[in-house]
Amino acid sequence: MSAYLKVARLDSLQEGAIFPLDLNDKHIILVRMGNEVYALSGFCTHEETDLANGFLVEDRIVCPLHLSQFDCRTGSVLNPPATEPLKKFNVKIEDGWILIEV
């Protein structure tokens, strides 16, 4: 059974930055775009590189190892060498808090 867990204050996430967290044995990254927050698995699906060390280009996260890109909103792969999407976690914001379904 999944549940939403409170993980951070919305105002603590800087827009254009990657916010890593470990939650219930999962490495997750948060990305804030405006008032939206996206939560994705934190390792590249190509060689399990930590995407928290990557960088953002518009609405894409770029892996620091081989430059695979993933859509921050969906986790979809946008270019090789990665071929598998990132897992996307449901997010909701309540009273200024970010909650993630895990």
* CA distances in angstroms from 68 to 60, 63, 91, listed in the order given: 10, 5, 24
Query: Is domain 4-101 in CATH 2.60.40.10, yes or no?
Result: no
The pTM assigned to this predicted structure is 0.94
| Average pLDDT, rounded, for the chain | 95
Query: Domain map of the chain by residue range?
Result: 4-101
Q: How confident is the model over 48-76, as a mean pLDDT?
A: 97
String of DSSP letters for 49-102? -BGGGSEEETTEEE-TTT--EEETTT--EEESS--SPPPEE-EEEETTEEEEE-
The tokens describing 78, both together, are 């946008």
What tokens were used for 60? 């894409």
Mean pLDDT of 18-42: 95
Cβ atoms of residues 90 and 101 within 8 Å: yes
Residue 27 predicted with pLDDT over 80: yes
- How many percent of the chain have pLDDT more than 90? 92
